[in-house]
């Protein structure tokens, strides 16, 4: 088997699968090696209680481009969406919930001025995010030592900003590095609208609304519009079914996928990657090795720092990847009822974010390796749309909860876990009285569990924080941002590479295209 493959991809996360499928389409013989028993990385479905299944990591499909779905023919390979273009309900303890659907915001007492301001804000941020999205589908351009492709990329970026027109161009330069707290408070008077916008900027990060860069992370989230996703979608069967369709698409193109095949080491000879050694000791060779693992696991864990320059090691050690998002899964005997919420809205994306100040306070605790007694969360009840995940009449609630620091002071002991779960349940009770009595089983996954289950260092959503100093030509580290790693023949195709995380597939797609271009290391 060893001699038959041109490329070995380490990891069958969604990016590894997209990369493999793209290489195979161009005629490369590709072998994917996955440590877990299931493909998909942090986009998997699994049972957490008898009869109840859930998307155990990512739970909403927000960014994967429609174009890539067609290109990979995922529908032909089994992808079905149980729901699409979900609205977002920002839940309020007093029942005066705010609902956003694309450019429309509504809710009791929302002023016409704020409604219009939100529509304008939505249109403006969509235009700014579209420029970012354009850059997401290409390798990030080098500023020095660039070639025509990089220059074209830079030109396109500049041209994109130019075509915004004078007013928007000035505005994007003004707000680009601002914090979302300041932008939200200057844009809206309604506190619910301010915190709803702020929540989308901090989800999946370790930042609070007052952190510089959070307008950038908001725009990052808004790139979804440019990919044809005007609201989150739920794959039928959970995210694992989405990944299964990806794996089927890759297999149909001739990719070999081996599950339960953990890679212990990337073999390096004279500065060139030559293959891998599995946990079992088996050795496999290929001229090109691609890693879907995060950058630190790849370069420290699989390659070993002894193969790298001190400068590279310092930069890899400097990547900020402190996981802050936990998952809570609840098996429910019946649908809960949310005070003041129309029952027809119970299947939407829900956000329990508190005020701008409350979100900041929840983050503040994490700075000191604590969690706040009032965590903030995003959740959905996928079984409203997809009965395959629970027994008839029963339901599953899937929540992403912040801020749960990976390095909690004293560790995530059973007592700490119980206290955190109780804090989340208290928040849910505040908007859905009686929900606790419906819970027949629960599962809490804190960042160390996510690290263990998905192999992502620090349990970090993006394999490295999304902030200006870790984006574009700085991702994962300067001088190695075009997927080729500092070892010839070794490439990085996961969320730690440009453009970053979320189930988006572009890191894998761009990486494959760079390998096919035959640049350094191919
Ligand atoms: C709690 C949480 C909630 C999230 N919610 C959402 C959401 O709702 N929507 C969204 O779009 N995104 C969400 N994300 C982010 C999203 O899940 C990730 O950004 C995405 O999964 C990254 O994909 P990837 O393919 O790059 O890497 P991963 O999904 O991390 O996959 C990497 C794969 O490589 C394998 N691997 C690693 N090392 C080895 C080795 N040595 N040998 C063999 N295999 C190896 C791993 O087992 C894994 O399968 C969430 C993330 C978390 C943690």
Classify strands 395-402 and 52-55 as parallel, antiparallel or unpaired: unpaired
Distance 456 CA to ligand 1 centre (A): 7
**325: Cβ below 6 Å to ligand 1?**
yes
**494: Cβ below 6 Å to ligand 1?**
yes
Say yes or no to pLDDT of 144 above 80. no
Distance 274 CA to ligand 1 centre (A): 25
Say yes or no to pLDDT of 2 above 50. no
DSSP 13: B
Q: If we measure between CA atoms, which residue out of 187, 179, 172, 180 comes closest to residue 131?
A: 172
What whole-number percentage of the chain has pLDDT above 70?
A: 98
CATH code reported for the domain at 2-75+238-320+456-516: 3.50.50.60
Say what the pLDDT of residue 511 is: 98
Bridge partner list, 47: 53
Distance from C-alpha of 114 to C-alpha of 167, rounded to nearest angstrom = 21
Distance 17 CA to ligand 1 centre (A): 12
Distance 323 CA to ligand 1 centre (A): 12
* Residues found in the chain: 522
User: Which pLDDT tens digit goes with each residue over 270-310?
Assistant: 999 999 999 999 999 999 999 999 999 999 999 999 999 99
Choosing from 292, 304, 492 the residue with most ligand 1 atoms within 8 A of its CB, the one to mutate for a pocket test is: 292
User: Which pLDDT tens digit goes with each residue over 243-276?
Assistant: 999 999 999 999 999 999 999 999 999 999 999 9
Would you state the structure tokens that stand for residue 303, as one six-digit string? 């390659």
**62: Cβ below 6 Å to ligand 1?**
yes
Choosing from 502, 508, 510 the residue with most ligand 1 atoms within 8 A of its CB, the one to mutate for a pocket test is: 502
Phi, psi of 13, rounded to the nearest 5 degrees: -65, 170
**461: Cβ below 6 Å to ligand 1?**
yes
**462: Cβ below 6 Å to ligand 1?**
yes
**12: Cβ below 6 Å to ligand 1?**
yes
What whole-number percentage of the chain has pLDDT above 90?
A: 88
**186 contacts: CB under 8 Å, gap ≥ 6:** none
Q: Are 141 and 150 in contact (CB under 8 A)?
A: yes
Across the range 43-63, mean pLDDT stands at: 98
Classify strands 7-10 and 288-291 as parallel, antiparallel or unpaired: parallel
Confidence of residue 519 (pLDDT cuts 50, 70, 90): low
Atom of ligand 1 nearest to the CA of 378: 8
Classify strands 283-285 and 376-380 as parallel, antiparallel or unpaired: unpaired
**16: Cβ below 6 Å to ligand 1?**
yes
- pLDDT, mean over the chain: 95
Phi-psi label, residue 465: left if phi above 0, alpha if psi -120 to 50, beta otherwise? beta
Distance 522 CA to ligand 1 centre (A): 25
Atom of ligand 1 nearest to the CA of 450: 53
Confidence of residue 415 (pLDDT cuts 50, 70, 90): very high
Say what the pLDDT of residue 1 is: 44
Distance 397 CA to ligand 1 centre (A): 20
**327: Cβ below 6 Å to ligand 1?**
yes
DSSP 229: -
DSSP 272: E
Break the chain into its structural domains and give their ranges.
2-75+238-320+456-516, 88-226, 321-349+357-453
Say what the pLDDT of residue 18 is: 98
How many helices and strands (H and E) does the chain possess?
16, 20
Say what the pLDDT of residue 518 is: 82
Bridge partner list, 273: 268
Distance from C-alpha of 54 to C-alpha of 444, rounded to nearest angstrom = 12
CA 241: distance to chain centroid?
A: 17
Around 32, how many Cα atoms within 13 Å sit in the side-chain half-sphere?
A: 36
User: Which pLDDT tens digit goes with each residue over 312-368?
Assistant: 999 999 999 999 999 999 999 999 999 999 999 999 999 998 899 999 999 999 999
Distance from C-alpha of 345 to C-alpha of 341, rounded to nearest angstrom = 7
User: Which pLDDT tens digit goes with each residue over 457-508?
Assistant: 999 999 999 988 998 889 999 889 899 999 999 999 999 999 999 999 999 9
- For ligand 1, atom 52, the nearest C-alpha belongs to 461
Say what the pLDDT of residue 362 is: 96
Choosing from 43, 64, 221, 304 the residue with most ligand 1 atoms within 8 A of its CB, the one to mutate for a pocket test is: 43
Q: If we measure between CA atoms, which residue out of 293, 335, 369 comes closest to residue 10?
A: 293
Classify strands 88-90 and 349-352 as parallel, antiparallel or unpaired: parallel
Distance 430 CA to ligand 1 centre (A): 32
Confidence of residue 522 (pLDDT cuts 50, 70, 90): very low
pTM for this structure? 0.96
- For ligand 1, atom 18, the nearest C-alpha belongs to 502
Around 115, how many Cα atoms within 13 Å sit in the side-chain half-sphere?
A: 11
**484: Cβ below 6 Å to ligand 1?**
no
């Amino acid at each position: 088997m060893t001699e038959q493959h041109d490329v070995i991809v380490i990891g069958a996360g969604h990016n590894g699968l997209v990369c493999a499928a793209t290489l195979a389409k161009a005629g490369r013989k590709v072998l994917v090696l996955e440590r877990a028993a299931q493909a998909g990385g942090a986009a998997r479905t699994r049972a957490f209680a008898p009869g109840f299944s859930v998307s155990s990591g990512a739970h909403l499909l927000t960014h994967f481009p429609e174009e890539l779905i067609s290109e990979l023919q995922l529908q032909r390979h089994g992808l079905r969406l149980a729901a699409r273009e979900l609205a977002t309900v920002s839940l309020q303890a007093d029942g005066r919930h705010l609902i956003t659907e694309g450019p429309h915001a509504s809710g009791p007492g929302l002023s016409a001025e704020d409604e219009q301001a939100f529509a304008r804000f939505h249109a403006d941020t969509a235009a700014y995010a579209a420029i970012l999205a354009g850059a997401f589908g290409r390798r990030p351009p080098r500023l020095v030592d660039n070639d025509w492709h990089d220059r074209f990329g830079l030109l396109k970026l500049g041209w994109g900003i130019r075509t915004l027109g004078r007013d928007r161009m000035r505005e994007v330069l003004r707000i680009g590095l601002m914090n979302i707290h300041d932008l939200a408070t200057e844009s809206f008077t309604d506190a619910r609208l301010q915190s709803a916008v702020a929540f989308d900027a901090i989800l999946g990060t370790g930042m609070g609304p007052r952190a510089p860069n959070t307008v950038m992370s908001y725009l990052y989230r808004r790139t979804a519009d440019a990919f044809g996703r005007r609201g989150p979608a739920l794959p039928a069967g959970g995210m694992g079914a989405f990944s299964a369709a990806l794996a089927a698409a890759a297999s149909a193109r001739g990719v070999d996928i081996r599950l339960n095949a953990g890679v212990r080491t990337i073999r390096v000879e004279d500065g060139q990657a030559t293959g891998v050694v599995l946990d079992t000791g088996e050795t496999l060779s290929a001229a090109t090795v691609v890693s879907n693992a995060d950058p630190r696991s790849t370069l420290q864990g699989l390659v070993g720092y002894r193969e790298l320059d001190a400068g590279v090691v310092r930069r890899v050690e400097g990547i900020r990847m402190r996981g802050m998002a936990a998952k809570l899964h609840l098996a429910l005997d019946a649908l809960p009822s949310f005070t003041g919420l129309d029952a027809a809205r119970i299947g939407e994306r829900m956000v329990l974010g508190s005020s701008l100040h409350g979100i900041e306070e929840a983050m503040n605790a994490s700075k000191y390796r604590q969690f706040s007694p009032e965590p903030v969360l995003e959740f959905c009840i996928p079984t409203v749309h997809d009965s395959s995940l629970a027994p008839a009449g029963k339901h599953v609630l899937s929540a992403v909860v912040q801020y749960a620091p990976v390095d909690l002071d004293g560790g995530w002991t059973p007592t700490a876990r119980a206290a955190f779960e109780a804090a989340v349940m208290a928040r849910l009770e505040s908007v859905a009285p009686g929900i606790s009595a419906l819970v027949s089983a629960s599962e809490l996954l804190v960042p160390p569990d996510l690290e263990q289950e998905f192999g992502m260092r620090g349990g970090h959503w993006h394999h490295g924080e999304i902030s200006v100093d870790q984006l574009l030509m700085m991702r994962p580290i300067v001088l190695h941002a075009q997927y080729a790693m500092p070892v010839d023949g070794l490439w990085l195709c996961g969320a730690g590479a440009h453009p970053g995380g979320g189930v988006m597939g572009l890191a894998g797609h761009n990486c494959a295209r760079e390998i096919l271009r035959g640049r350094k290391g191919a």
